[in-house]
Amino acid sequence: LNERECGYSQAKKEIFGLYRALGDCKIYLIGLPTFIVEVDASAIKGMLKNPDIAPSAAVNRWIIGILSFHFVLVHVPGSKHGPDGLSRR
């Protein structure tokens, strides 16, 4: 993340992370009938179900980009994930 992106709220960072991950893996995901995305942020589900109430045009663009993929979003509580080097310092 750059300096500006570091200042995003937690929910905004989560949706941005999903947007970037799908964008980076796009060449592998396009054409799949469906795939599963597991996230530990429950706020993402609400943001994707109600994109019109997103706080900014940038977030709305990210949501539109995310919804262009055919996937099932599954919430997995953070307690079910093991620690990793990026999120658990």
CA distances 39 to 2, 33, 44, Å, are 22, 20, 8
pLDDT, position 83: 67
Q: Splitting the chain (89 residues) into consecutive groups of 10 residues, what average pLDDT does each group show? A: 82 91 94 91 85 79 93 84 62
Enter the pTM of the model.
0.81
Distance between CA atoms of 63 and 19, rounded to whole angstroms?
7
Unique residue bearing structure tokens 């990793």: 84
For residue 10 the two structure tokens come to 């937690």
Distance between CA atoms of 41 and 12, rounded to whole angstroms?
11
For the chain, the 3-state helix, strand and coil shares in percent, each to the nearest 5, are 55, 10, 35
Unique residue bearing structure tokens 């940038």: 58
